Amino acid sequence: MSVNDKPAGIKPISAPDLTRLKKKGRVITMLTAYDYFTARLLDEISIDGVLVGDSANMVFYGEKSTLSITLDQMIYHTLAVARAVRHALVIADMPFMSYQASAEEALRNAGRMIKEGRAGAVKLEGGEHIAPTVARLVEIGIPVMGHIGLVPQSIHQLGAFKVQGRDDPSAEYLKRSALALQEAGCFSMVLEMLPAELAGDISRQLTIPTIGIGAGPQCDGQILVTNDLLGLFEDFQPKFVRRYAHLAREAREACARWMEDVKNRTYPGEDESFH
Ligand code: KIV
């Protein structure tokens, strides 16, 4: 079966489906994946969207920011995810400097995400200034998710991973940006690290769904980095992360038990050997 074949009985989620879910008042769920195995687990629980986030640069590659991941790396991870997913919408993050220099470059690079990565949509960070680029992508049929608030690709300008929109001018800028991005054709928007009340106001002013991360319960949907939720990424734990498992601890314990068994020659046993 090719990555584009969806078996009968499984209805893939499209970008416009998410707006319909908002209209119905059904909360939208999304998580990140960078590989086939994780994407498959998420798809099996019928998650609505799988984001191939540029957070891969920190979580998967161990970098301190998202900035240095390349378009080729993102395409590689997106294809692995797309191969696993039969139901969810696969959204690929456009990495830093793959869309900022010009709309033409954004078009070519987003096109590669769709053609080579098999993404169903792309995500771009940025406020109202990025709206004309969004409009060009949407014009040629590429669904775009916006991302405002804490935008990690601007970390050097922001200075730290901190809550955005706390004062009036910055809250007004975020509200204006949300409307401009919706007007430009975004089908949905990530709100990252905003005060819950502001995220609620933005969610109510938009017809497209907002997907919150560290933006409180009034968003139309929620997203987390899966490795955070599973307790696989232990370097730090943001306030908004709830850990549902401690898989790094379990994995360490399992591997240490195996190592002990090998050292004391109880692995492999008779049942695990060929004769
Ligand atoms: O890169 C990422 O994982 C993201 C989410 C945190 C929204 O952009």
CA of 1 to the centre of ligand 1 (A): 29
Please indicate, yes or no, whether residues 210 and 261 belong to a single structural domain of this protein: no
pLDDT for 233 beyond 90: no
Pocket test for ligand 1, best of 31, 54, 69 (most atoms within 8 A of CB): 54
Please give the biggest Cα pair distance in the chain: 75
Q: How confident is the model at residue 8 (pLDDT cuts 50, 70, 90)?
A: low
Please report whether residue 10 resides in a domain: no
* 223 CB within 6 A, ligand 1: yes
Ligand 1 pocket check for 91: Cβ under 6 Å = no
Quick check: 230 pLDDT over 70?
yes
CA dihedral 16, 199, 163, 133 (to 10 degrees): 40
In the chain, pLDDT over 70 holds for what percent of residues?
Answer: 97
Rounded to an integer, the average pLDDT of 113-126 is: 98
* 52 lies in the same domain as 130: yes
**192 among known catalytic residues:** yes
For residue range 81-91, list pLDDT tens digits in order. 999 999 999 99
Answer yes or no: are the C-beta atoms of 151 and 143 closer than 8 Å: no
Full domain range(s) for residue 254? 247-275
Is 197 inside a domain boundary? yes
Structural domain total, the chain: 2
Q: Does a structural domain hold residue 6?
A: no
d(CA 59, CA 66): 9
| pLDDT recorded at residue 54 | 98
The predicted pLDDT at position 1 comes to: 46
**Does 234 map to a domain?**
yes
**Claim to verify: residue 154 and residue 78 sit in the same structural domain:** yes
Residues 219 and 263 in one domain: no
From the CA of 42, how far away is ligand 1's center (Å)? 16
- Please name every residue paired with 212 in a beta bridge, in sequence order, or none if there are none: 191, 222
- Residue 8 inside a domain? The answer is no
Q: Does the CB atom of residue 85 touch ligand 1 within 6 A?
A: no
47 and 143 housed in the same domain: yes
Q: Are residues 106 and 169 in the same domain?
A: yes
pLDDT at position 177 = 98
Q: What percent of the chain has pLDDT over 90?
A: 94
Element (DSSP H or E) covering residue 262:
helix 247-263
* Ordered DSSP codes for 239-261: TT---S--HHHHHHHHHHHHHHH
The CATH code of the domain that includes 188 is: 3.20.20.60
